[in-house]
Amino acid sequence: MRSPEWDAFTARVRESSDILRVVGAYVSLKQKGNNYWACCPFHNEKTPSFSVSPDKGLFYCFGCHAGGDVFKFISMIENVNYGEAIKLQAERLGIPLPSRKRDAKEIARDQKIADMQKVMAMARDFFHSCLVNTRYGVSGLKYLHGRGINDDTIKNFALGFAPNSFEKLKNAFMKRGISEQLLLDCGLIKRRQDGSGTYDTFRNRVMIPIADEMSRVVAFGGRVMDDALPKYLNSPETMIFNKRKMLFGLDRAKKAIGNEKYAILVEGYMDAISLSSAGVKNVVASLGTAFTVEHARKILRHAPEVCFCYDSDEAGQKATIRALSIIRATGAKVRVLVVPDGKDPDEFIRRHGADAFKELAKNALSVPDFEINYALSHNDIRTMDGKTNVLHAMIPVIAASNTIEKLDLIERLSRVLSIEDGIIKQELSHYRGADAGSYAESSVRKRKLVRSVDDAVMKAGRVVVRVAWDDVGTLAHISSLVPIDEFPVATHCEILKYIMACDEKGEKYDESSAMANLSEEAASELSRILTDDFAGELPRDIYDKCAKVIYLTYLKMLYEEHRIKADELEKQGKSDEALRELDESRQIFDKINRIKETRNG
């Protein structure tokens, strides 16, 4: 929770921080004009697109769109949150932390987290002891040894075993003074549905501790030793465990990931454990969930490249396709390692060894190669439907590729599918004006309204945001033209709403507060806006023209909404309502033309 003391402390650390000195400790900067440039430390590039503005105290990468102030840079490069970055910089500068009296709620929450972490560490030791020191773990050891997991690996990963008992852990912990409520909070026990008491969550399973990046146990994964379901049972989400943000093994692998300059991402715990034990250390696993943007960001803080190595069965390959669609927008370098013969990574490395697996990694496929192979293997391109399916699967891949890759992919698709490259380029043009969901609908010619944003609208939005940032009174004008919630660019909408919220509360806003409160995407975009020189033009001088661009975009969107709604009503036989929608669309269309004529005049 922010306080005047913390704000003053942050301001002191900021004033004492030289962003050039901080950034220069990690990358080699060269001056060009008023700014300093380098190859971005957050993604792989050969041409410098990472800019630092010492006057404004901000950085921005025009390649991966990372941006922010000195604390944001520290948070990204050191993989800590924003508040921790401020404290880290203060420590480097010898500035003492402010003393602040915490309220009772904060103290209780911190104590609860500390208690949960202590109990989870105790549970790790309990399960591990059950595996290696008691008769309960005989079947677990037999299972692990049968999968090629030796005793050193068992010790290294603190693998354990949950006895086949409903109250073994519960009774043992309560005898040691651990409350039933704390065990419930940790997800180690559950309440019976009939209200008659509680029981152990994990029973008769091999137990795998899940640690955060500080190597603190926050959850467990329990695996059955037969074909029972569910095969894996994970801890529920708690105050200390969010599976969408957690990657198994990252605490162990992050150093190797940094050294190797890429991470290998696998599906399961056993895949990660087997690879790591065999000497492939730069490997992490998702926790039985779909790959998320949060997962991508965690990996990319340690290396610019991700190599997906999901199972080779159909489910694994579909999961790969979904993951590629998520990571495509991050600017990361991505490859796909396909394990041959339908095997999973664990089985392959046990049979062929680490050297064979590392050779597979060296020859991992590019994303276009993997996706075109997948599309061709799942469609009969002797039919028109098959050709269409392959084309529509590949258009997003082509759109995300660089110029040389685009030309190569268009030529390859044209040759393989025996269609003219002009058709492919036409489909690519349709895709650029739509999001992925609406483009998929276009394959059956069900066109949906899409709020597309071209370069002119993006540039106009940046000018409007910059002027609003410098003069909050501008918000009254722009909101009279376009409702802030309907602003065509989502990040610009978020920034404007933040400015408006601060103004309504009478709170001061600045770069520091914005970076701490905006989403990562909006913070990066604001950083770009505040460091932009707008081609030498003053934002205030071109504001009116840019506001009209935003207004026209909004009107065009409204026009399309009414027109499409009229079509739908007509198909439903609601002619009177359809006519009203058409009349509304015509009025908006006339307004658009009048504005255009005024602008041209």
Q: pLDDT at position 432, please?
A: 61
Strand partners, 31: 36
Mean pLDDT, all residues of the chain:
85
In the prediction, which pLDDT does 597 show? 64
Per-residue model confidence (pLDDT) at position 453: 38
Is the four-CA dihedral 307, 310, 311, 317 of positive or negative sign? negative
Q: Among candidates 272, 284, 264, which has minimal Cα distance to 358?
A: 264
Q: How far apart are CA 32 and CA 321, in angstroms?
A: 41
Integer Cα distance of 160 and 126 in angstroms: 8
Instruction: Name the pLDDT band for 304 (thresholds 50, 70, 90).
Output: confident
Is residue 435 predicted with pLDDT exceeding 60? no
User: Is the predicted pLDDT of residue 534 greater than 60, yes or no?
Assistant: yes
Distance (Å, whole) CA 118 – CA 178: 10
- Distance from C-alpha of 135 to C-alpha of 239, rounded to nearest angstrom: 34
List the beta bridge partners of residue 58: 53, 69
Residue 25 one-letter amino acid: A
Please tell me the predicted confidence (pLDDT) of residue 329: 65
Q: Is the pLDDT of residue 538 over 90?
A: no
Q: The tokens 């661009």 sit on which residue?
A: 549
**Is 540 or 289 the better-scoring residue by pLDDT?**
540
Q: What are phi and psi of 518, to 5 degrees?
A: -80, 160
- 360-388 pLDDT tens trace: 999 999 888 999 999 999 998 888 778 88
| Alpha carbons 68 and 523: distance in angstroms, whole number | 6
Q: How far, in Å, CA of 369 to CA of 412, rounded? A: 11
- CA distances to 211, 400, 532 from 215, rounded to whole Å, are 5, 36, 41
What is the rounded average pLDDT of the residues 557-573? 75
Calculate mean pLDDT across residues 263-286. Answer: 93
In angstroms, what CA-CA distances link 599 with 242, 342, 455, 596?
Answer: 52, 62, 19, 5
Q: Strand locations in 41-162, DSSP E?
A: 50-53, 58-61, 67-69, 160-162
Instruction: Identify the band that residue 1 occupies on the pLDDT scale cut at 50, 70 and 90.
Output: very low
CA atoms 435, 436, 437, 443: torsion sign: positive
Residue 174, classed as helix, strand or coil, is helix
pLDDT value at 591 more than 80 = no
247 pLDDT more than 90 = yes
The per-residue pLDDT for range 9-63, each reduced to its tens digit, is 888 999 899 999 999 888 889 988 888 998 888 877 778 889 999 888 999 988 7
Tens-digit pLDDT profile for residues 85-142: 998 899 888 888 887 677 788 888 889 999 999 999 999 999 999 999 999 999 999 9
Torsion of CA 127, 131, 135, 139, to 10 degrees: 120
What percent of the chain is modeled with pLDDT above 70? 93
Out of 326-335, 346-355, 484-493, 538-547, pick the least confident: 326-335
| Listed range (3-12, 213-222, 345-354) with the worst mean pLDDT | 3-12
> What are the beta bridge partners of residue 36?
31, 52
Q: Please give the full DSSP string across 24-73, using - where no structure is assigned.
A: HTTS--EEETTEEEE--TTS--SS--EEEETTTTEEEETTT--EEEHHHH
pLDDT of residue 288: 66
Give, for 478, the enclosing helix (H) or strand (E). Answer: helix 474-481
Residue whose C-alpha is closest to residue 144's, from 222, 248, 230, 225 = 225
Rounded to whole angstroms, the Cα distance separating 468 from 479 reads 11
Mean pLDDT, to the nearest integer, of 234-241?
Answer: 93
Residue from 398, 460, 404 nearest 599 by CA:
460
pLDDT in tens, 398-428: 887 777 888 889 999 988 888 888 788 877 8
356-386 core/surface letters (b: 16 or more CB in 10 A; e: else): ebeebbeebbebbbbbbebbbeebebeeeeb
For residues 227 and 196, is the Cβ–Cβ distance under 8 A?
no
> Is the model's pLDDT at 442 over the cut of 50?
no
User: So what's the pLDDT on residue 436?
Assistant: 44
pLDDT tens string 577-587: 878 878 887 88
> Which region among 40-49, 82-91, 352-361, 501-510 has the lowest average model confidence (pLDDT)?
40-49
- CA-CA-CA-CA torsion sign (259, 260, 262, 265): negative
